[in-house]
Amino acid sequence: MSNVRETALQILNKCDLAGQFSNLALDTALKRNALSSADRGLLTALVYGTIERRMTLDHWIASLSSRPMEDVDESTKNLLRMGLYQLAYLDRVPDHAAVHETVSLAPKRTKGFVNAILRAFLRAKKQIAWPTDPLERLSVQYSFSQKICEEFVAAFGYARTEALLAAFGKQPPLTLRVNTLRTSRESFLSVLKEAGYAARATAESQTGVLLDGAPIASIPGFAEGNFFVQDEASQLCVEALQAQKGMTLIDVCACPGSKSFGAAINMENEGRVYACDLHKNKLSLVTGGAERLGISIVETFPRDARTVEERWIGQADRVLCDVPCSGFGVFAKKPELRYKDPAQSRALPDIQLAIAESACQYVRVGGRLVYSTCTLLPRENGENVRRFLERHPEFLLLRERTLYPDTDGTDGFYFAVLEKRTLSNI
C-alpha cells in the first residue's frame, strides 16, 4: 500500500512541478508498475481524486494550519491533500491506515506537521466552515474555479449549478460501445456477467454497456474487438447521424475515432467513412482502433477542418462536426479542467463556427450535418448553432439535445442535427 501512495505522490508532484497531464502520468505509472487490480484502483482514485478535490482540500489545510499555505512546499501540500482525500472521501481506507501511511511518506522535517493536520481534521472536520459568500462556497465546496461557478450560475441558476457540480464529483461508470459487427449487446453482457463483472445496459443507447472501472485490455472481448470505450452521450450523438449502409460520412474532427467507429458499425461496414484530424500523428489511433474492431471502411486524412476539401463538396450523406471545445462537460474525466478560466475558451465559438461553415459544404441536399461538443456552455452549443443557421438558411434544425450528468447520468454533452434543403424550399 505504501508503494501505491508513494507512486501517487510522485505523479501529483510531476503534474504540479513538471506540468504533466495527470492521465498521461498515471498511464505511464500503471504500465511501469505491476499492481493488483485493487492497487490499480486505489492509485487511480488517489491521483484523480486529489486533483479533483484540490480546492476543498486546500481550504481544509488552510483552516487547520497555523502556517500560511505559501510557506508549505508543494510536495508537502500534495501529501496532505492525498491524506485528507482518503480521510474524507475513501470509505474503504480506515482512518488510522490513511494517517499512518501518509505520515510515513513525509520527510523527517515535516512528519510532525503532516501528522498534526491529519489528526486535527479527524477531530474537527464537521466544524470547518465553508465560505459565506455563495459563489465562493460553491467554488470551495465542490472544487471548481470561481469563474467557472460564475459562468454556470449565469447559464443555469444557482440551484441547478450546485446539482451539476455535485454530479461532476461522482465517479462515472466505465461505458463501452458494443461492436455489433462481431457480437450483440445481450451476448456481451452475458460474457461479462459470467466473468464476474457487474455489467448492465445503458438507459438510452441500444449498444452501450456500463460497468465499474477496470483495465480496458483485461475486459473479455478486448483483443477480439468486441467493444470500445464511448460515453453514452457520445453514442446517442452517433445514433442521431442515422448513418446507413452504403452512405458516405465525413467526420471532420475524428480523433481518437470512437464516433467514426460507431458510425461505421451502424453502416454495417458498408460505404465510406472519412476520418479527419488536424494532427497527423493522432490518426494512427483511428487506424489501429478500426483494425482491432474489424472495420475496413474508415479512411484517415490529416486536415484542418476550417479549410474546404474541394473534391468532397456536395458528396457526403452525413457530416459530423465534433468540434474542439472547452470540455466543460467532462470534468469527471479531466479533473484539471475544474481550475480553468473560461476566458481562455472565448475564441472557441468562432473556431467552431468556422469548422461548421466549411464542413457544411460537403453535405448533399437531403443529407445531415451533426454538430456536437462535450461542454455545457451555451455559447459553444445552441447559441453557436443559431449563428450558423442565420448564415446558412439552407439548413433546417431537426433536433438538438443537451445531456447533463445530474439528470442523464452521462457526460455533459450537446448535439444538434441539421438537414440540408434546397434554397428554393425555404
What positions carry a catalytic annotation?
A: 374
DSSP code of residue 218: G
DSSP for 263-282, written as a single string: HHHHTTT-SEEEEEES-GGG
DSSP 8-state secondary structure symbol assigned to residue 361? G
Beta strand extents in 269-426 (DSSP E only) = 272-277, 298-302, 316-322, 363-373, 395-403, 413-420
Residue 337: what residue type? L
Question: How wide is the angle at C-alpha 326 spanned by C-alphas 324 and 327, nearest 5°?
Answer: 90
For 197, residues 6+ apart whose C-beta sits below 8 A from its C-beta are 211, 212, 214, 219
Residue 290: closest CA among 252, 253, 324, 263? 263
CB 410, CB 379: distance < 8 Å = no
Pairing of strands 316-322, 298-302: unpaired
Distance between CA atoms of residues 54 and 163, nearest Å: 19
Query: In the chain, what's the furthest Cα-to-Cα distance?
Result: 79
Q: Which three cell numbers stand for residue 51?
A: 486533483
- Return the closest-CA partner of residue 331 out of 145, 134, 81, 87: 145
> Residue for cell digits 447521424?
241
Other Cβ atoms closer than 10 A to 363: 24
Answer whether 210's CB lies under 8 Å from 202's CB.
yes
Is residue 54 classed as helix, strand or coil in its secondary structure? Answer: helix
